[in-house]
Amino acid sequence: MGKGSETVARTVGQILDDAPTSAFHRRAVVISGMGFFTDAYDLFVIGTVAALVQSQWSLSTTETSWVTGSAILGAFLGAMVFGRIADKIGRKSVYTAVAAIMVVGAIGSSFAPNVLTLVLARFVLGLGIGGDYPVSAVLMSEYANRNDRGRLVGLVFSMQAVGLIVGPLVGLGLLSSGLSENLTWRLLLGLGAIPAAAVIYLRARMPESPRFQAHVKKQSELAAAELHQFANGAVDATTVRANTTTLMAPRQFFANRRMWLLIIGTAGSWFLFDYAYYGNTLSLPSILLEVSPNATIKVKLLLTLAMFVVFALPGYILAVTKIDRIGHRKLQTIGFAVMAACFLLLAVVPKFTTMVVPFILIFGFSYLFTEFGPNTTTFILPSEVFPVEMRTTGHGIAAGIGKFGAFVGVFMVPRLQASIGLRGLLVVAGISAIAGLGTTALLPEPTQTSLEDSSHRPASRPVDQASNQAA
């Protein structure tokens, strides 16, 4: 490379797009991922907690649903509120605040003296979890280089896999310890504060998003200098020029037809996915009870753990390793298609819902393509397709509506199972997955394209064209 080309000034976005993956990126993955460990841990243990408190406090079905669903309702609001705040004041402050809120909610839940206090404390926990979605996703996306962005953001989300495995193990350990049921469920909830508390200090030391700082705050030189320092010199930011892109005001964002297509594509896909995923996951103990009526709570925990280890964990690994080769939108399409096929197969063949092994195999295969598909991609895509000045707002809307879908699933799945049976429930889940194919088609393919380009790419741009342009 000649001397002249070495001194060409580049924008912060261009510097980040071409930067190698470094220890800085790996540190950011772990610090961001702790929020999703907490989310997954909480997602699992609340099913067991709800069963214990329902017996202890003689709760009705509606009260039990509120115990299960209040955190998800909090996540619906938290994602939207904190997503918008992060576009106003910056990502870093919100990044630290939501971790602190998760700690408060988890500890408050563990000391709840009655069902109302428990519901309110878990709502607070949900506010923090919801707020963590847009901020962690967008920060990692904005730190990332062009070629590895899907893998890096996917690694943040894959911390869910650890939570899904640790949750059942902790539950089995406490249930086998001889502790009272009252102490068991309180410990299960209180332990969720540990991962969030562990990263509050680390998050406070992370730099502001360089893209946000350069594009929105117009502080390109400061952004480049901080990034160079925090990355221990791995990022060359010695020659930087200001970005002159015109920023989009909120009124323009919500008046723009293309932005609405992106909202429908991201939020609609997330809603449809979370309805099926959270509804079925949180109701898995009762689903397994119908398939295997004589199973104890420990046996159901073991079956669920086996499903996560055998099917979900490989799905996360495949998603992280293959997503940037397959394409982010394309992988979401594949995942929805396989999920629909599995759910409908279970529904149309009666024997599959009365025998444990066939049910676990087919339902588990759907779990594989849940993680190797929409559960990962619905998190990644909103962090790529919106412009930087409205990126956490857009992601927050998508995540919030997704969590509302989960909330609907938590309340509807038990009632649907009671009224139309397990097979009818699976038909509804299959139809939701098919609808997810339609909303996914509204999105562009951002794989291996710079964030600045992908946020202006027309909807439904084919993956090969996107890859060719990136190349």
Residues of the chain with pLDDT > 90, as a percent, come to: 48
How many beta carbons lie within 10 A of that of residue 337, not counting itself? Answer: 17
The pLDDT value given to residue 463: 39
Q: Give the Å distances, CA to CA, from 250 to 194, 364, 390, 470.
A: 37, 42, 7, 29
The pLDDT value given to residue 307: 77
Nearest to 39 by CA among 71, 64, 65: 71
d(CA 85, CA 83): 6
Q: Are 411 and 63 in contact (CB under 8 A)?
A: no
**What is the distance, to the nearest Å, from the Cα of residue 335 to the centroid of all Cα atoms in its chain?**
15
Q: List the structure tokens of 297.
A: 């709570």
DSSP 133-150: HHHHHHHHHHHS-TTTHH
The pLDDT value given to residue 287: 56
The pLDDT value given to residue 221: 81
How many beta carbons lie within 10 A of that of residue 183, not counting itself? Answer: 12
Nearest to 422 by CA among 349, 327, 324, 326: 349
Q: What is the pTM of this model?
A: 0.87
Q: At what angle do helices 91-110 and 115-143 cross, to 10 degrees?
A: 150
Region of poorest pLDDT, from 67-71, 315-319, 423-427, 444-448: 423-427
Q: Is the pLDDT of residue 57 over 60?
A: yes
Greater confidence (331 vs 463) lies with 331
d(CA 302, CA 178): 18
d(CA 148, CA 151): 5
pLDDT band at 331 (very low <50, low <70, confident <90, very high): very high
First to last CA, the chain: 19
Name residues whose C-beta falls within 8 Å of residue 307's C-beta, 6 or more positions apart in sequence: 360, 363, 364, 367
In tens, the pLDDT along 402-422 reads 999 888 877 777 677 677 777
Q: Are 379 and 325 in contact (CB under 8 A)?
A: no
Q: Are 259 and 391 in contact (CB under 8 A)?
A: no
d(CA 454, CA 436): 21
Residues in the chain: 471
The residue extents of the domains of the chain are 9-470
Name residues whose C-beta falls within 8 Å of residue 36's C-beta, 6 or more positions apart in sequence: 132, 136, 156, 157, 158, 159, 160, 163
Greater confidence (230 vs 377) lies with 377
Q: List the structure tokens of 399.
A: 């995540």
Superfamily holding 9-470: MFS general substrate transporter like domains (1.20.1250.20)
Q: Is the pLDDT of residue 269 over 80?
A: yes
pLDDT band at 462 (very low <50, low <70, confident <90, very high): very low
What does the CA dihedral 258, 276, 446, 248 come to, rounded to 10 degrees? Answer: 40
Region of poorest pLDDT, from 40-49, 53-62, 266-275: 40-49
Instruction: Indicate the residue type of 415.
Output: R
What does the CA dihedral 93, 96, 99, 100 come to, rounded to 10 degrees? Answer: -90
d(CA 144, CA 134): 15
Nearest to 359 by CA among 422, 283, 433, 316: 422
Beta partners for residue 448, in sequence order: none
Q: What is the mean pLDDT of the chain?
A: 85
d(CA 429, CA 70): 22
Region of poorest pLDDT, from 172-181, 183-192, 428-437: 172-181
Name residues whose C-beta falls within 8 Å of residue 65's C-beta, 6 or more positions apart in sequence: 410, 411, 414
